[in-house]
Amino acid sequence: MSAFIVRRLAEAVLVIFLASLAVFFVVRLIPGDPAELIAGDDASTEDVDEIRARLGLNDSALVQYWNWVTDASQGDFGTSYTRNLPVRKLLRNAVQPTLELAVAGYIFAVLVGLPIGILAGIKPGGIADYFATGFTIFTLGIPNFILGLLLLWVVGVEFGWLPVSGRVAVSENPLEAMRFLILPTIAVGSALAAVLARFVRASVQEVMNQDYVRTARAKGLGERQVVLRHAMRNALIPVITVLALQLGGLISGALVIEIVFSRPGFGSLLINSVVGRDYVLLQALLAVLVAIFIAANTIADIAYGFADPRIRVR
């Protein structure tokens, strides 16, 4: 098992290196010169050249990449071009709201999608199965930002049951923070709940037809014991991978929903960095998001190895 973990960690390091290259050079494809944007419309050529020299934009791309990776590995992401603040501080202020929404959406998806998929898989063709099919079609057919706008309009504006914008920190007022989180959480987590329900339904339905499940029933075990002790352990193995692979979509959905509900976080920071050609801030944001995605997939691979020993020998 230790060799399997070391191999997966080595692969993750390689992927992070390749991703850092992609992030650094793709960001520079954004049209416009940040030095000209910082200097303003009335700046002279000398002023622009001075700013470019101060920001290190005159160095070759490889030198800029090396400097960025070296500093980032020490936790220094530089200073934002547009805000003139340390990027690390901006990230620290934005990461909590975004992770708060992503985690809430993830929990919502698991609590909703898992039971729906299990019930639909145990009794195919039943009421739960029809409900799961309708839920999946409806939820996956509506983009998360459209669902967010519908929830905002109907629940927030028309009925006034919940706030439609802003955020309250959990540390300040947990109950009020939950009220501000409910609508964005539903908008973010519904798509993942539908995907999870579909995969769980198919996996449970397949496992319930296996010989060892029929053997467990023949031994006189109750249906609950058969499902929980024998069927679910094997049925949920593919779900681990699905949950990890959907994490990227969940985070990107959280960034969009933050803008819909005017919540502070990575979403607004990302938009502002693109508009302002803030290379330093943008590449730091993308690097953090990519690192989160790679870490989640690596953890899923390792968890997959624990759940299914056959994976370790591949």
Residue 32: pLDDT above 60?
yes
Q: How far is residue 236's CA from residue 218's CA, in Å, rounded to a whole number? A: 23
Q: How far is residue 72's CA from residue 154's CA, in Å, rounded to a whole number? A: 44
Sequence-separated (6 or more) residues with CB below 8 Å from residue 157: 164
For 146-201, the pLDDT digits (tens) are 888 888 888 888 888 888 888 887 777 888 888 888 999 999 988 888 888 888 88
State the chain's mean pLDDT as an integer.
79
pLDDT band at 266 (very low <50, low <70, confident <90, very high): confident
Please report the pLDDT score of residue 309 as a whole number. 59
Please report the pLDDT score of residue 45 as a whole number. 74
- Within its chain, how far is the Cα of 191 from the centroid? 12
Q: How far is residue 182's CA from residue 201's CA, in Å, rounded to a whole number? A: 26
Please report the pLDDT score of residue 312 as a whole number. 54
For residues 268 and 259, the answer to whether their CB atoms sit within 8 Å is yes
Read off the DSSP letter of residue 86: B
Q: Would you state the structure tokens that stand for residue 246, as one six-digit string?
A: 């959907």
User: pLDDT: is 262 or 312 the higher one?
Assistant: 262
Backbone angles phi, psi at 79, to 5 degrees: -115, 135
Which residue reads 């929830």 in tokens? Answer: 151
Backbone angles phi, psi at 86, to 5 degrees: -60, 130
Q: How far is residue 235's CA from residue 29's CA, in Å, rounded to a whole number? A: 44
Which residue reads 């490889």 in tokens? Answer: 62
For 103-153, the pLDDT digits (tens) are 899 899 989 988 888 888 887 778 888 888 888 888 888 888 888 888 888
For residues 278 and 82, the answer to whether their CB atoms sit within 8 Å is yes
Neighbours of 127 (CB within 10 A): 10
The residue-averaged pLDDT of 239-264 equals 81
Residue 313: pLDDT above 60?
no
For 33-49, the pLDDT digits (tens) are 667 666 666 667 777 77
Of the candidates 72, 74, 39, which has an alpha carbon nearest to the alpha carbon of residue 285? 72
Helix axes 174-207, 247-260, angle to 10 degrees: 150
Question: Which domains are seen in the chain, by residue range?
Answer: 1-82+294-314 (no CATH), 92-208+234-275 (1.10.3720.10)
Left if phi > 0, otherwise alpha if psi is -120 to 50, otherwise beta: which for 44? Answer: beta
The residue-averaged pLDDT of 255-280 equals 83
Sequence-separated (6 or more) residues with CB below 8 Å from residue 234: 207, 210
Question: Which residues pair with residue 86 across a beta bridge?
Answer: 79
User: pLDDT: is 296 or 106 the higher one?
Assistant: 106
